[in-house]
Chains A and B, each alone.
Chain A
Amino acid sequence: NAGVTQTPKFQVLKTGQSMTLQCAQDMNHEYMSWYRQDPGMGLRLIHYSVGAGITDQGEVPNGYNVSRSTTEDFPLRLLSAAPSQTSVYFCASSSLGLAEETQYFGPGTRLLVL
């Protein structure tokens, strides 16, 4: 199993550009989520999904869209990039319905918005 994969690893955008951060998992996990992590700060939840076709907002959803058309994929779209979106983005997945639910993280995407 590849686990959770994210692409790209690094990206530089200009203000106003749009892009999609890709996330995929091959563990058949129902739960997937996107976080951003800023220097000196912890993980902040952007959006999450508890299954295909179901998404919900996290703590900092503004400026981001998500969709979950399949169990495997959970792309994050930046609609119009802003310098405040410069961050490291982590995608994570876990199974549902169990008492113990380990989150599996992707390696992260480092985004710089100029």
Chain B
Amino acid sequence: RKEVEQDPGPFNVPEGATVAFNCTYSNSASQSFFWYRQDCRKEPKLLMSVYSSGNEDGRFTAQLNRASQYISLLIRDSKLSDSATYLCVVILFRGSSASKIIFGSGTRLSIRP
């Protein structure tokens, strides 16, 4: 089983729609979680961190469910510019320093006019 798994998509939704992705992780020692965005032929860039209490940044909401070991990303009122691949990232800590950072394989989102 992969340490971090995502639905690869593609998700093809109309502009203005709400779309949600999940990402599951297998190691219960995982302690930090992030969503990254990657545009075609570009490097990944941080979209937002995922906090235990859930957090929102404009149209984007991230949530963490430790009991079921998954994180989610919700995008409201989607824009054409949201078309990208969304990668979830999990950090495994040892002591006070991060020992391993694991990327999911990404969920591809395409917004149509």
Interface set of A (CB-CB < 8 Å, partner B): 30-31, 33, 35, 40-43, 45, 48, 50, 90, 94, 96-97, 99-103, 105-108
Contacts and interface: CB of A to CB of B under 8 A. Distances in A.
B46 A96 contact: no
Contacts of B87: 42-43
B36 interface: yes
Contacts of A42: 6, 87, 103-106
Given A42-B104, A105-B44, 6 more contacts: A33-B101, A42-B105, A43-B44, A45-B101, A90-B43, A103-B89
Interface residues of B, number: 25
Contacts of A94: 98, 101
A90 B41 CA distance: 11
A26 B99 CA distance: 21
Interface of B: 6, 8, 32, 34, 36, 42-46, 49, 87, 89, 91, 96-106
B49 A100 contact: yes
Nearest to B49: A100
Nearest 8 A/B pairs, CB to CB: A42-B105, A105-B43, A43-B103, A42-B106, A96-B97, A102-B46, A97-B97, A97-B96
Nearest to B95: A97
A103 B105 CA distance: 16
A35 B100 CA distance: 13
B106 to A, nearest CB: 4
A37 to B, nearest CB: 9
B36 A50 contact: no
Contacts of B8: 40
A94 B43 CA distance: 15
B41 to A, nearest CB: 8
Contacts of B46: 102-103
Given A42-B104, A42-B105, A103 B44 contact: yes
